[in-house]
Amino acid sequence: MRKYYNILLLLLFVSNVNSQKKIEVTLDNSSRVTEANEGGLYFAGSKNVNYRFSQRISPHGDCVDVVNGYAFVTWYKGGMEHRNLMLSRKNLNVSNAPWVTIEFPHKHVGQGGELLNGSGIRGDSHNTAAIGVSTIDGTIHILYDMHAYRFSSLPNYFFNYSVSKTNKAFVPDNEFTIDIFNAKRNYLKSGGDYERMTYPMIHRADDGSLIARFRKGGSGNGDILFAHYDGTSWSNNWLFHEGTLSSPNTNNLYGGERFLNGKFYSGFSIRYATNSDANTSNGYMLNSGLYYAYTNGIPKNSSELWYDVDDAVISLPIKNNSNPSLDPVQFAQPGDDYGTASLPRTSSDPSWTVTENGAIHFVTRVDDTNVHYFKKATDASFSSASSGLIPNPEVRGELYSYKNYVFMVEIISGKVVVKTTPEGENNWKIVYQGSGTNSFEHFDAFVSGNKLYVYLMEDTGNNIVGVGDKRPLYFQEFTLSEVEADEVVDNLLMESENYTTASAGIVVGSNSAASGGQYIDAFAGSQWLEHKFQVVTPGVYDFILFAANRNKDDSIMDVEINGSLHEDVLITRTFDWDVYLETRISNINLILGENTVKITQRKSLSSEPDKIEFELKSDLSVSKFTNQNISIYPNPSSGVFHIKSNANSLLYCLANINGQILENGKIIGDKVDFSYYSQGVYFLKLIDGINTFVSKLIIK
Three-state SS sequence of 330-369 = EEECHHHHHCCCCCCEECCCCEEEECCCCCEEEEEEECCE
pLDDT by residue (tens digit) across 179-230? Answer: 999 999 999 999 999 999 999 999 999 999 999 999 999 999 999 999 999 9
pLDDT by residue (tens digit) across 215-271? Answer: 999 999 999 999 999 999 999 999 999 999 988 889 999 999 999 999 999 999 999
| In CATH, 491-619 is 2.60.120.260 | yes
For the chain, what percent of residues have pLDDT higher than 90?
65
Give the pLDDT confidence score for residue 158 in this predicted structure: 98
630-699, CATH topology level: Immunoglobulin-like (2.60.40)
Task: Give per-residue burial for 224-247: e unless 16+ CB within 10 Å, then b.
Answer: bbbbbbbeeebbebbbbbbbbbee
pLDDT by residue (tens digit) across 558-593? Answer: 999 999 999 989 998 888 888 899 999 988 888 866
The closest alpha carbon to 471, from 111, 44, 115, belongs to 44
Give the pLDDT confidence score for residue 19 in this predicted structure: 42
Give the pLDDT confidence score for residue 262 in this predicted structure: 93
The closest alpha carbon to 208, from 136, 296, 300, 132, belongs to 136
Which helix (H) or strand (E) element contains residue 201?
strand 197-204
Q: Could you state, in order of their start, the residue ranges of all structural domains in the chain?
A: 491-619, 630-699
pLDDT by residue (tens digit) across 451-504? Answer: 999 999 999 999 999 999 999 999 999 999 988 764 445 578 889 998 989 999
pLDDT by residue (tens digit) across 333-346? Answer: 999 999 999 999 99
The span from the first CA to the last CA of the chain, in angstroms, equals: 44
pTM for this prediction: 0.75
Give the pLDDT confidence score for residue 444 in this predicted structure: 96
The closest alpha carbon to 230, from 129, 295, 130, 141, belongs to 141
Highest mean predicted confidence (pLDDT) among 8-12, 362-366, 685-689: 362-366
Give the pLDDT confidence score for residue 659 in this predicted structure: 53
Cis bond before residue 200 (omega within 30° of 0): no
**664 band by pLDDT with thresholds 50, 70 and 90:** confident
Residues in CB range of 312: below 8 A, 6 or more apart:
none
**15 band by pLDDT with thresholds 50, 70 and 90:** very low
How large is the average pLDDT for residues 66-86? 97
Give the pLDDT confidence score for residue 575 in this predicted structure: 84
Q: What is the CA radius of gyration of the chain?
A: 29
Q: Do 285 and 344 touch, CB atoms closer than 8 A?
A: yes
